[in-house]
Chains A and B, each alone.
Chain A
């Protein structure tokens, strides 16, 4: 089977690219291992809502038109939204078609699937940033009696034993899961490594409204100081909920969740925690305050100071004088460990020499170092919003322009 462009993955990013390709009359197919929005259907916990308000999911040619623009989509609503988009743009999706290999050929790429082989001049990798949960090596040292889950396999507290739970990771997933489990009556300890604190609302507006309006989400990968560092920063510690509450470490402490340092080791039936908790929280508070300063400066510049609430700062993250450096894993104090230490993409099927020594695709703003290959949907790919649904429009537009140029160039070269 031949086609000009193969898009791998029918999530919001692959669909946005499909819209751009269709607009340029570039024939293409989207290969999807499951159904449209597959990760949202199969790899998320029950209570999860999107971290961005409804209005902030603008896809090319499609936006929210309901009556709750400031609400946060549940998972079924998210799936429905992406499903409707696929239908609205008549995306050529081949569902239940799992890509097992992509190789370079003389004139493009060979994409092997369990439903046949495709040949294409260009390929767009839109399989997402969250394919595999990051599980630290210390996992192997846990006693066998400990039940382990990841933020991808966790669904709700009912599936857990009674007894203590250690949640490893304090970004959006870890804090939300910790809050929900603590509320179920199981005492939670949360191991806190690098995380980025952010309030849900600030000066009466949603933090994402500020970040969008002030241009923070539009920061470009080729204009910021250190893109490598920016790409490794975890996503904001936010939660979407009907009461718009901020789920930060102070809130978790108020509920009785115990804060400990990063999980550093396990030996003799004990988990060992880093003594760096205070600095992790300090780094996070400082980073949050820099964001708020940027927002305040923008608000003043735009003359919003009388219109919105006055600037203020949040109480620093409270850390005990001597947080525990270890807890017993045997004997029932901890029955379950939930890994919420982040995710990474899985490109193990990509047999093109574009991976670095850590298995990451080498690219310049989504233009992969192999002609005609593109990448979408990774953190800070081209902009700060690249990993948001709202980031797909601009990135897909830019990369589709490049892809079209690549096709024109190839045609011109073939003719000459």
Chain B
């Protein structure tokens, strides 16, 4: 058996990320991004969102292709269930953000990942959205994320990667901290 260590490859270009950090430290204006989504009502509670362009690094940017996401409510809400519920999509956003962070942090710390699985649960009392009890909030009363990770690292090192990923996660921040939301009608 060869004793040469295989280079760690989680598929994350850490050099490019660190390069961007250096470049944007000197040119903070380039770090101002705007993310966009468009959403079209289809019928009933079914809607279709499209994601295509965003702004960053001082100019308009485009994804490689247009992404579409259908959202709906399940049949027990008398809907047609043409897609995930919006709150489930929030869980997807959180999971994907944390998982991307785990890959990047692990790469930077030279930890080879073999598998990363996140299982998410968001508790909700729907008396809030149904207007039954105004003391009950509409949103989640808590979110639990459970990670199962196989990696060439000690349990403590893996915990540290997951903790660091939370510290740097955009969606984790969006969910854990208040954000001003402005909704206007044209």
Cβ of A264 under 8 Å from chain B: yes
Residue pair A275, B175 in contact (C-beta under 8 Å): yes
* Distance (whole angstroms) from the CB of A149 to the closest CB of chain B: 25
Determine if A415 is an interface residue (Cβ-Cβ < 8 Å): no
Is A282 among interface residues, defined by CB-CB distance under 8 A? yes
Q: Is A276 within 8 A of B156, CB to CB?
A: no
Given contacts A261-B176, A357-B28, contact A286 B167 (CB under 8 A): no
From known contacts A279-B166, A279-B167, A322-B142, infer whether A274 and B159 are also in contact, taking CB-CB under 8 Å.
no
Does A234 lie at the interface of the complex (its beta carbon under 8 Å from any beta carbon of B)?
Answer: no
* Interface pair A282/B177, CB less than 8 Å apart: no
**B55 interface residue (CB < 8 Å to A):** no
Contact residues in A for B160 (Cβ distance below 8 Å):
283, 286, 290
Q: Is the interface on chain B under 10, 10 to 19, 20 to 34, or 35 or more residues?
A: 10 to 19
A211 and B16 CA atoms in complex are apart in Å by: 35
Partner of A289, one of B28, B156, B167, B178: B156
Q: Does A272 contact B (CB under 8 A)?
A: yes
The reply to whether the CB of B45 lies closer than 8 angstroms to some CB of chain A is no
Question: Contact: A265 with B178, CB < 8 Å?
Answer: yes
Cβ contact of A283, chosen from B28, B164, B172, cutoff 8 A: B164
A286 touches B163 (CB 8 A): yes
Complex contacts, A321 vs chain B, CB 8 Å: 142
A17 to chain B, nearest CB (A): 29
Chain B stretch 148-177: residues in CB contact (< 8 A) with chain A? 156, 159-160, 163-164, 166-167, 172, 175-177
Q: Which of A276, A283, A289, A290 contacts B176, CB < 8 Å? A: A276
Give B135-153 interface residues, CB cut-off 8 Å to A: 141-142
A3 CB within 8 Å of chain B: no
Contact of B172 among A264, A276, A289 (CB under 8 A): A276
Indicate if the CB atoms of A282 and B159 lie closer than 8 Å.
Answer: yes
CA–CA, A275 and B164, complex, Å: 16
Known: A289-B156, A322-B142, A357-B28. A282 touches B176 (CB 8 A): no
Residue A255 lies at the interface, judged by CB distance under 8 Å to chain B: no
A194 — nearest CB in chain B belongs to which residue? B167
Partner of A275, one of B28, B167, B176: B176
A233 sits at the interface (CB 8 A): no
In the bound assembly, the distance between CA atoms of A357 and B27 in angstroms comes to 10
Residues of B near A290 (CB, < 8 A) are 156, 160
Would you list which residues of chain B between 71 and 129 have a CB under 8 Å from chain A?
none
A132 close to B (CB within 8 Å)? no
Residues 255 to 299 of chain A near chain B (Cβ within 8 Å): 261-262, 264-265, 267, 272, 274-276, 279, 282-283, 286, 289-290
With both beta carbons as reference points, the residue of chain B lying nearest to A282 in the complex is identified as B163
A153 to chain B, nearest CB (A): 28
Q: Tell me the bound Cα distance from A27 to B166 in angstroms.
A: 52
Please encode chain A, from 349 to 363, with 1 for each CB lying within 8 Å of some chain B CB and 0 for all others: 000000001000000
Contact flags A40-70 to B (C-beta < 8 A → 1, else 0):
0000000000000000000000000000000
Min CB–CB distance B58 → chain A (angstroms): 16
Which one of A267, A283, A286, A357 lies within 8 Å of B178 (CB-CB)? A267
A354, B21: Cα distance in complex, Å: 21
Distance between Cα atoms of A42 and B151 in the complex (Å): 52
> What are the residues of chain B within 8 A of A276 when measuring CB–CB?
166, 172, 176-177
State the Cβ distance, B27 to closest chain A Cβ, in Å. 10
B residues in contact with A286, CB < 8 Å: 156, 159-160, 163
| Choice from B142, B156, B164, B177 contacting A265 with Cβ under 8 Å | B177
A321 CA / B143 CA spacing, docked (Å): 11
Contacts of A262 in B (CB 8 A): 177
A residues lining the B interface (CB < 8 Å): 261-262, 264-265, 267, 272, 274-276, 279, 282-283, 286, 289-290, 321-322, 357
Provide 6 A-B residue pairs closer than 8 Å at the C-beta atoms, listed in order of the A residue.
Answer: A267-B178, A272-B178, A279-B172, A282-B159, A283-B160, A289-B156
Q: A275-B176, A322-B142 are in contact. List 8 more A-B contacts (CB 8 A).
A: A261-B176, A264-B178, A272-B177, A274-B176, A279-B166, A283-B167, A290-B156, A322-B141
